């Protein structure tokens, strides 16, 4: 009986020691977890938000099936996610073939855009479609006598497809950078190198 009591006493002491050790570990672990949460919270709170809106004007020169081209306009996007946005554009295009023909057209449409980063400098790809209208003049010449036929002009209109690929920098709220653009117009397709300048929010 004495041995049984000794064994029982030892078991009770071991059980009490185990319970005490578990309680101490829990008390120590809880403050550590609380401090870890407190340290992680400011990091998440101070993460810069992505740009939600970008608007820019552009102008550029190039060439295509209609001759030398001058491109200008305005475009912008609202960013639905960190990398995908939807927007719209207005684009003007003047093209000319020396001593032959010239055309002026304008276009408006909607665009789907993708960027390589949520903020800072990033690459931009924008594909837009819309409606274009303008005037095309043919029969221009400076080397003929009175027998030359006068130039003829006609109105043109139809669908347009505009593709822009560029790299945009953002010093503060300013957006600036070079961009290549391939546009369809009344005189055909024109590839231009543009300078974009605008702002982001």
Do residue 81 and residue 165 come from a single domain?
yes
Q: Which residues contact 154 (CB under 8 A, 6 or more apart)?
A: 135, 136
Q: What torsion do the CA atoms of 57, 63, 64, 70 make, to the nearest 10 degrees?
A: 40
Domain that holds residue 107: 53-200
Do residue 36 and residue 87 come from a single domain?
no
Do residue 5 and residue 77 come from a single domain?
no
Tokens of 127: 């594909």
Number of domains in the chain: 2
Do residue 101 and residue 38 come from a single domain?
no
Do residue 114 and residue 196 come from a single domain?
yes
Do residue 128 and residue 188 come from a single domain?
yes
The SS3 assignment for 74 reads: strand
Do residue 14 and residue 82 come from a single domain?
no
Q: Which residues contact 118 (CB under 8 A, 6 or more apart)?
A: 50, 51, 82, 83
Per-residue confidence (pLDDT) for residue 142, from 0 to 100: 61
Residue 105 belongs to domain with CATH number: 2.40.160.20
Q: 59, 93 in Cβ contact below 8 A?
A: no
Please tell me the pTM assigned to this model: 0.74
Per-residue confidence (pLDDT) for residue 42, from 0 to 100: 53
b (16+ CB within 10 A) / e for 149-176: eeeeeeebeeebebbbebebebeeeebe
Q: 94, 130 in Cβ contact below 8 A?
A: no
Mean pLDDT in consecutive groups of 10 residues from the start of the chain, 201 residues: 47 51 48 51 71 98 94 98 98 89 94 97 98 88 66 91 98 98 87 98 96
Per-residue confidence (pLDDT) for residue 121, from 0 to 100: 97
Per-residue confidence (pLDDT) for residue 19, from 0 to 100: 47
Cα dist. 26→15, 19, 30, 148, 190 in Å? 17, 11, 6, 100, 71
Q: Which of 47, 64, 85 is the last residue of a domain?
A: 47
Do residue 43 and residue 57 come from a single domain?
no
Distance, in Å, from the CA atom of 155 to the CA atom of 182, rounded to the nearest integer, reads 22
Per-residue confidence (pLDDT) for residue 99, from 0 to 100: 75
Do residue 157 and residue 71 come from a single domain?
yes
Per-residue confidence (pLDDT) for residue 1, from 0 to 100: 47
Per-residue confidence (pLDDT) for residue 143, from 0 to 100: 63
Do residue 10 and residue 62 come from a single domain?
no
Do residue 20 and residue 109 come from a single domain?
no
Q: 114, 84 in Cβ contact below 8 A?
A: yes
Do residue 62 and residue 158 come from a single domain?
yes
């Amino acid at each position: 009986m004495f041995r049984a009591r000794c064994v029982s006493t030892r078991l009770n002491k071991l059980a009490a020691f185990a319970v005490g050790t578990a309680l101490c570990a829990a008390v120590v672990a809880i403050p550590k977890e609380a401090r870890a949460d407190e340290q992680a919270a400011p990091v998440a709170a101070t993460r810069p938000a992505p740009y939600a809106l970008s608007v820019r004007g552009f102008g550029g020169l190039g060439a295509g099936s209609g001759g030398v081209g001058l491109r200008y306009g305005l475009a912008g996007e609202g960013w639905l996610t960190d990398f995908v946005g939807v927007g719209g554009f207005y684009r003007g295009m003047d093209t000319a073939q020396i001593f032959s023909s010239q055309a002026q057209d304008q276009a408006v449409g909607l665009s789907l855009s993708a960027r390589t980063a949520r903020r800072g400098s990033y690459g931009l790809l924008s594909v837009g479609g819309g409606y274009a209208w303008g005037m095309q003049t043919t029969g221009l010449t400076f080397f003929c006598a009175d027998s030359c036929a006068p130039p003829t002009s006609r109105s043109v209109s139809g669908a347009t497809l505009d593709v822009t690929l560029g790299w945009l920098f953002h010093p503060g709220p300013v957006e600036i950078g070079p961009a290549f653009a391939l546009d369809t117009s009344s005189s055909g397709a024109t590839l231009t190198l543009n300078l974009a300048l605008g702002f982001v929010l």
